[in-house]
Amino acid sequence: MTLGEFQEFIKTTFGAKDAKRGLEGTFMWFMEEVGELSAALRGGSAEERLLEFADVLAWLATLANIANISLEEAVRKKYGQGCPECHKIPCSCQPSAKP
């Protein structure tokens, strides 16, 4: 399944409910799932991590659907030429102060 196909699957499966919840309500659910992923990464089992990654991706796709954004287009535009800064694969940028 491609990223676009997954986004369409989420829209077909949950789109009506998601539209009613709106962007702000959906963002809150997304953030809750990110928190659950954080907990799973710190101490969960491999199965818990697997499922939480899926949840975060599903809620991200939901947000993109509500905002009328194609995740495939967004990724292609930002990362289609490699690193967004140096445009190389692999990235040759100097390490930054960001963790």
Domain boundaries, the chain: 3-79
CA–CA separation, 88 and 24 (whole Å): 36
Q: How far apart, in whole angstroms, are the C-alpha atoms of residue 94 and residue 82?
A: 15
Enumerate residues 6+ apart whose C-beta is below 8 A from 22. 66
Per-residue pLDDT of the chain (99 residues; tens, 9 = 90+): 999 999 999 999 999 999 999 999 999 999 999 999 999 999 999 999 999 999 999 999 999 999 999 999 999 999 999 999 999 999 999 887 555
Residue 6's closest CA among 93, 88, 87, 70?
A: 70
Could you name the CATH architecture of 3-79?
A: Orthogonal Bundle (1.10)
d(CA 20, CA 2) in angstroms, rounded, equals 26
